[in-house]
Amino acid sequence: MIPRLETERLVLREYRPQDFEAFAAFMADPDVMRFLHGAPMARNDAWRLLASAIGHWALRGYGTWAVERKSDGAFIGRVGLINPEGWPGLEVGWTLGKPYWGHGYATEAAIASMRYAFLTQPVDRVISCIDPDNRPSQAVAMRIGETKGPREEIMIGGRGYVCDIWGISRTEWQRTQSA
């Protein structure tokens, strides 16, 4: 049900039971969670988040992928399409473990995810919800062709989070593909 995508250095694939240990460790890292939930996530909450990510595929027909580095098979994070109930649009989102920051993996996987979105989903725009202080994610958004849009509050777990809505239209994306 979950398609497999490949980039030069990465495999975007289904989640596997053995991914959970690394996933839970990433979600417990204060630096990883700083702009996502503001605090480290408990192991049981990480389990629910992972189960929700898998369920997203069943409910929407798309979701986030487990990202595996080809060179050593390491599970490095999650990247893909997010659109839970009440979300401002179809989002390309990324969360990588801290050891994998700064290598261009988020950009590489986000480009593949965006391509998948525009080739398989009937949307005119893809967005990324980014904390106004999250400069590294803003840089990824710029590298994948998104521009900063309005500031909104999104709800996660009954709590509001302020974010900037970055985005790219299908027309803008198509122009980048033909260039």
Asked if the model's pLDDT at residue 66 lies above 90, the reply is yes
pLDDT of residue 179 exceeding 90, the answer is no
Question: What is the residue range of 91's domain?
Answer: 5-178
Report the distance separating Cα 133 and Cα 137, nearest Å.
9
Q: Would the pLDDT of 111 be above 90?
A: yes
Q: What is the mean pLDDT of residues 21-36?
A: 95
What's the pLDDT score for residue 130?
97
| pLDDT for 116 | 98
CATH number at residue 77: 3.40.630.30
Per the structure, the count of domains in the chain is: 1
Query: Global pTM?
Result: 0.96
Residue 37 pLDDT level (bands cut at 50, 70, 90): confident
How far apart are the C-alpha atoms of 32 and 131, rounded to whole Å?
Answer: 13
Position 157 pLDDT exceeds 90: no
Bridge partners for 127 per DSSP: 91, 167
pLDDT, averaged across the chain: 96
Query: Tokens in use for 119?
Result: 């080739």
Binning pLDDT at 50, 70 and 90, where does residue 113 land? very high
**Is the predicted pLDDT of residue 31 greater than 80, yes or no?**
yes
Q: How many residues does the chain have?
A: 179
Percent of the chain's residues with pLDDT above 90: 91
The mean per-residue pLDDT over the stretch 33-56 comes to 93
Which CA distances in Å does 143 have to 102, 105, 146?
13, 12, 7
